[in-house]
Structure 1
C-alpha cells in the first residue's frame, strides 16, 4: 500500500539537503553544548562528586526504564520507505501508553530500586525525573516526521530553545541554593520544552486511531531498533558503579563521561540525524550510498580527530582550572574517554549506514556483544577503581571496532584501503598538532595554567588548520564547491 505523500522521504536535491542539514544539525549540537557547558561548569563549582553521582544514578534508572519503551519505532518510521497517517497515530499511542505504564511501575518500585543500588537518596528524585518518560516518548513521532522531511532547522530551533530554558532554570536554582535539585528540575524542563517545540515544528497532532497492521509493517526494523535502543539506554555500567563503588566514584565517572559527551554531541550530533535520513532516502539507490558514506566519514574524522586528541592533551590543565580541584581524579578517566569518543564519532556513521539499509539486526547483535563485554568489565574490575575500568573499556572499543568495518564493507562492497584512506589526512594533521601542543607544554612549564592552556589551544588549533588544509586541500575545496553549486541551483530553481 502506498504511503501518504506528505510524509515521504525527500526525493530531490538530497545532497544539498544533507549539507544544509549538517549545518543546522551543527547548530543543533553546538549551541546546546555551549549552554550545557556553562551549566556543567557552574554546577561543578557548586556541587561535589557525590551529588553528581546521586543524580547520575537516578537518571540511569530512569534511562533503564526508558530503554524498555518502544521509542525506536520512531527510527522505524524514518527508515520505512512508505508511511501512512495510521502508522503515525499507532506509534504515538503505543509510545504514550507505554510511558504511562513504565512511569507507574517506576514510582511503585522506587524504594526497592533505591535499596538495591545502596543509595536511599535516589528515591526522592525518581518521581520527578521519571516524568521525562512521558514527554520524551510523546515526541517520538513528530521527531521522526521532522527527520524524514530533513527539516533539520526545526530540530535545531527546538533543541536550542529547550536547552536555553533548562540552562537558565538550572543556573537560577543553583544560585538560589537549590543545590542538587537544580540538576533534576532542569532535566525535566529540557524534555518538556523539547516536546512542545517538536510538535510545533512538525505541525502534526495525533488522532484517536490504532492499527495492528501498522505495527506489523514496522515490527522487523522496529524490533531490532528497539533492542538496539535498549542496549544503548540501559546504562548498566553506571548503575553497577554507583551500587558497588559508591556515588562519589560514579560522580567522577559521570563527570569524565560528560566531558567526552559534550564534544561527541557536537560532532556526532551534527552528522547522525543527517546521515541516517540521507542514507535511508538512498536505500533504493545503492550506487550512491558508498559515496555518501565516505563523505560523512571524512567529515566526521576531520573534526573528531583534533577535538578528542586535543582534549586529551590539555585536559590536565582544563579540569582544575575550569571545574575545580575537586575533579582532579577525573583527569585520567577523561583521557581514556577521549579515545572512546574518537572511535564513537567514526562508529556513529557506520551505525547510520547499517541501520538505514535495513540491517539493524546486525547492529543489535554487535551492540549486545559490546554491552555484555562492558558489564563484565565493570563487574570484574569494580574494586580496582574507575580509571582502570574506563581504560579497559577504551581498549575494548579499539580492539573490536574492525567488526563494524566488516559489516559496512559487506553492505556497500567497500575496500578496507578506501575506507582507511578517509582517515589519513586527519590523522597526520592531528599528529602535527600533538607535537606542537606537547612542545608548548614543555617550553611553558613555568607559566601559569591559564597562559599555558591558552597557548596550547591557540598553537594546536592553528597547526591543525594549516596542516589539514595543506593535506586535504582538494577534498575541502571540492566540498565547498559542492555547497556553492547547490546554493546556486536552489536560487535558479526558486
Structure 2
C-alpha cells in the first residue's frame, strides 16, 4: 500500500504543480488586465453559488470510495443524482439573480449568475466512474482531468480578458473549465451513463453526514465573503478573495496530493489500529514538514510575491497574504483529520466537528467584518484558526487514540525549524521598492527562498540527529532519494546497503 500511495502522491503532486503553474500564469496576466472590482464581482456570485451547491451537496464520490463493492447501478444512480442536482441548483441560482442583484445594488450580477448556473448543470454530468481508479490508489487520471480543465479555463479567460478587459473573462474561464473537466472524465474512463435511482438510499446512507458537514463547512468559510461584499464593496472583496487564494496556494498545492491519497490509503488499513496510527502520524509529519517552509516564506515575502504576481494595484492585498499564509501553514498540523474520519466512516463526528467550528468561527469573523475593517477580519481568522487546530487534534485523539502530545511531537521539528528559518529570512530580506523590475523581484524571491529552505532543511536534519533519527519525514525523504539513486544510478551503492 505504501508504494501505491507514493506513486499516487507523485501523480497528484505532478498535477498540482502543473495546475499551480497554470494558476500563477493566469493570475499574473489577469491581475494586470482586470481590476480588483472585477474579481470581487465574480467572487461574490461564485461565493453564493458555492453556498447553494454545498446546501445540496450529495458527496457521492466519497460514498462510492467507501462502498465495499459498488456495481454499475451504483454508478448510474450517482450520475443521475448529480445531474438532477446540477439542473435544480443551476436553475435556482439563475432564478435568484434579480433578487441578489437588487440586494447588492449591482445589475451585472444577473447575467453572471445565469451563466454560472449553467456551469453547475454541466458539471453535474461528470463521469462518476473515475472513482474506480481512485479506489485502486491509481491517480494518473486526476492528472489528466485537472490539467486539462485548468488549461482550458486559463486559455479561455486570458483570451477574453485580452479582447474585452472585463469580468466576463473570469466567467467564461469557469464555464470552459467545467466543460473540459466533464469531457476529459469520459476520456480517461469510458462510461455510458444511464438514468437510474435504484441505489439512492444506499449511497446517501454514508454521504448524508458528509453532505451536512459540507453545508456547514461552506457557510463557515464563505459567509465572510458575503458580508465583506455587502459592507465593504466589490473592490475590498476582490482584494480579500485574491489574497486568500494566493495565501492558500502555498500550502494547499503542497499538501493537497498527500491528503487526497490519504483517504483510500487509510481506508485500506482501517481494521489494523496500530498501522492506522502509524500511517496517520507519518502523513501528519510529512504534511507539516512540506507546508511549514512554504507558508513561512509566503508570509515573510508577501510584498514581493504580490508585486511580482499581481502588480502594484494589488498592494492592499499584501496584509491578507501575510496573515493568512501563516495561519494556513499552522493549520496543516492537524489537517489529515478529514481523510482519517472518512476512512473510519466517522462522518457524523466530522459533521459535529464542522458544527463546532461554525459555532466558534462564524460569529467572531462576522462581527469583525460587520463592525470593523479588513484588518479586523484577518485578526479574527488568525484567532479562530488556532482554535481550529486544537479542535482537529481533539477529534484525532477520539478517532485514533493519539494523544495531543503524540500529535505535536510528530510535527515539533517542522515547527522549530520554520521559526528558525523565518528569523533568518526576516533578517536577510531587503524591503522591496516600487521601482523594482520584474527580474529584480524574481531574483529577490529566489534568493531569499533558497536561503530559507536551506536553513529549514539544515535545522530539520540537526534536530532529527539530536533525536536519534526516529522515523519521520526525514527518513521518507532519504528513502525516496535512495530509490531515485537506484533507478538512475544503478551501479552506485546506496548508504543503506553499506
Fold similarity call, TM over 0.5 = yes
Q: Aligned-pair RMSD on alpha carbons? A: 2.6
Give the superposition deviation at 1:22: 0.8
Report the secondary structure of 1:317's partner residue.
Answer: helix
Measure the CA separation in 1 of the matches of 2:228 and 2:25: 27
Higher alpha-carbon deviation: 131-140 or 75-84: 131-140
Report the secondary structure of 1:376's partner residue.
Answer: helix
Measure the CA separation in 1 of the matches of 2:104 and 2:344: 40
Measure the CA separation in 1 of the matches of 2:416 and 2:246: 25
1:462 equivalenced with 2:454 (yes/no): yes
Q: Partner of 1:433 in structure 2? A: 421
Measure the CA separation in 2 of the matches of 1:364 and 1:299: 26
Q: Is the 8 A contact 1:236 1:375 kept in 2?
A: yes
Measure the CA separation in 1 of the matches of 2:485 and 2:297: 33
Report the secondary structure of 2:258's partner residue.
Answer: helix
Question: Which stretches of structure 1, 4 residues or more, deviate above 4 A after TM superposition?
Answer: 442-449, 480-489
List runs of 5+ in structure 2 lacking aligned partners. 488-498
1:232 equivalenced with 2:220 (yes/no): no
Measure the CA separation in 2 of the matches of 1:179 and 1:472: 52
Measure the CA separation in 1 of the matches of 2:206 and 2:105: 38
Change (3 A) 1:447 1:65: closer
Measure the CA separation in 2 of the matches of 1:363 and 1:31: 31
Report the secondary structure of 1:284's partner residue.
Answer: coil
> Which has the bigger relative contact order, CA under 8 A and spacing at least 6?
1
Q: Partner of 2:496 in structure 1? A: none
Change (3 A) 1:481 1:463: closer
Measure the CA separation in 2 of the matches of 1:108 and 1:476: 51
Change (3 A) 1:204 1:464: same
Give the superposition deviation at 1:178: 4.1
Change (3 A) 1:149 1:119: farther
1:479 equivalenced with 2:467 (yes/no): no
Measure the CA separation in 1 of the matches of 2:19 and 2:65: 24
Measure the CA separation in 1 of the matches of 2:417 and 2:209: 38
The superposition leaves residues 421-453 of structure 1 with CA deviations (integer Å, 9 ceiling, x where unpaired) of 111221222122112211212699999563544
Q: Is the 8 A contact 2:282 2:473 kept in 1?
A: no
Measure the CA separation in 2 of the matches of 1:480 and 1:342: 20
1:255 equivalenced with 2:242 (yes/no): yes
Give the superposition deviation at 1:480: 4.8
Measure the CA separation in 2 of the matches of 1:80 and 1:322: 43
Please report the TM-score for the alignment, with normalisation by the length of structure 2.
Answer: 0.88
Change (3 A) 1:452 1:138: same
Match of 1:94 among 54, 67, 81: 81
Q: Is the 8 A contact 1:167 1:186 kept in 2?
A: yes
Give the superposition deviation at 1:182: 0.9
Q: Partner of 1:350 in structure 2? A: 337
Q: Partner of 1:492 in structure 2? A: none
List runs of 5+ in structure 1 lacking aligned partners. 1-13, 490-494
Show the 5 A alignment for 1:37-436.
37-139=24-126, 141-211=128-198, 214-234=199-219, 235-382=222-369, 383-436=371-424
Measure the CA separation in 1 of the matches of 2:361 and 2:109: 24
Measure the CA separation in 1 of the matches of 2:315 and 2:336: 33
Change (3 A) 1:65 1:399: closer
Measure the CA separation in 2 of the matches of 1:430 and 1:477: 15
Give the superposition deviation at 1:153: 1.1
Change (3 A) 1:272 1:71: farther
Measure the CA separation in 1 of the matches of 2:361 and 2:34: 28
Measure the CA separation in 2 of the matches of 1:348 and 1:88: 30
Change (3 A) 1:220 1:488: farther
Higher alpha-carbon deviation: 49-58 or 367-376: 367-376
The superposition leaves residues 244-280 of structure 1 with CA deviations (integer Å, 9 ceiling, x where unpaired) of 2211111111011111222233123211210111112
The superposition leaves residues 136-176 of structure 1 with CA deviations (integer Å, 9 ceiling, x where unpaired) of 33326234333212221110121112111211222222222
